[in-house]
Structure 1
């Protein structure tokens, strides 16, 4: 265990701090507080999210090199099942014109979020201990999806795609007309329509990001509390059942994010055709 575990409060606070770097002054941020600024990077979240993405791409590239048509191996079969699973959901839910981006985007979102969420199953002190002893980092969080910055950045990308396809489908004038004349098709209701539609539009990326962040942050916090409040020899009584249940949350949150992405992009494709 980390030496900081001598104090339960310090231990819990320690595990809720990110490894941060301030680009303004080019130095690491102290572990006593989580700084918040545009110029401060949560290095641990960026590192593990990029590492997981790169590892998955390398594994898939390796499997593709040895892929066979007639008798696929176990790993090839597993990946093909995931692709078919996601592609079927895209066909069922995406009702706009044929779009080559939606299936790869949905695949990327689902796998990436699953991998980031799965980091929560690693013992809470394992990587922080290595980072402290080997690299001298006083803080480290290894679950990127428990960082609001990561989930917001993913949701923001989806929001930009929504606006892009809205404009592509109906043009700037069509988007403005949508904001001003929906749901009440009257000139007198333009101010009310505009407020309602802007709120509805902005609620989509906000709900995407906060839902994923809230579930993963709370899951990580429960693991921290179990480790901090119980002796090491009886932690498994609560941590194992919670980890088993948490596996469902890991896949469910990735699936929900993927499904909502497909639905939101589908709406932008067909809304002005209805």
Structure 2
């Protein structure tokens, strides 16, 4: 089996002509590494499906089923069509967060470019879903309930919607980058037992941040599906 570090070196060499700074190059390299690993994992989990699952298939069914149940409980049955988008973002962000707990590895979500890309995907998907579901009537979401206040409400709503990708970007980036810096400091001061509690807390932070991002994505898409009043 090819070692992941060889993949990282391969991706870094591909990115060398772009003259990116080291942090951006590492984030892109680790992102592609995670994408490849998730693709391999999905192929292995679905290559020999059984009526009575076991091993990797059983684990992946628990993960996928848990995300699907959460989407249905939050958005209702009409949220099922958006399961691939939300589940993909959730799993990618979670694995990216957990990658930072491996010594010598860097979590892509500790780079603002990665979190901004995920946030923009949610932002665009929200409005594409809204326009597809309501047509031009989707603009009523920005007009408010009182007709003569519509021009003012429109600008307020636009600012509110534009703040969503900013908050999604900064929340995930701030938490993951902050934890990475604290972990590096502890490893520098005491590289043995002292960083262990921080790494355990990092597992909790990784799950919480992935859950929060997924939950907000569901809420935003759910809001675009609702009828404007």
The answer to whether TM tops 0.5 is: yes
1:27 is displaced (CA, Å) by 5.6
Alignment match, 2:41? 59
Q: Is residue 28 of structure 1 aligned with residue 28 of structure 2?
A: no
1:248 is displaced (CA, Å) by 0.3
Alignment match, 2:93? 113
TM-score (norm 1): 0.72
Q: Which has the larger radius of gyration?
A: 1
Q: Is residue 164 of structure 1 aligned with residue 135 of structure 2?
A: no
Aligned equivalents of 2:77, 2:138: Cα separation in 1: 17
Residue by residue, what CA displacement relative to the aligned partner does 1:215-253 show, whole Å, maximum 9, x if unpaired?
00001000121233x1xxx43332101001110001111
Aligned equivalents of 1:265, 1:207: Cα separation in 2: 16
Q: Is residue 175 of structure 1 aligned with residue 135 of structure 2?
A: no
Aligned equivalents of 2:21, 2:117: Cα separation in 1: 24
Aligned equivalents of 1:109, 1:29: Cα separation in 2: 25
Q: Which of 49, 63, 70 is the matching residue for 1:89?
A: 70
Alignment match, 2:227? 271
Q: Is this contact kept in 2: 1:120–1:220, CA < 8 A?
A: yes
> Structure 1: which 5+ runs fail to align?
1-18, 35-41, 128-141
1:20 is displaced (CA, Å) by 11
Give the superposed CA RMSD. 2.4
Q: How many residues align?
A: 218
More helix by share: 2
> Structure 2: which 5+ runs fail to align?
1-11
Alignment match, 1:155? 119
Alignment match, 1:146? 110
Aligned equivalents of 1:114, 1:185: Cα separation in 2: 42
1:154 is displaced (CA, Å) by 0.7
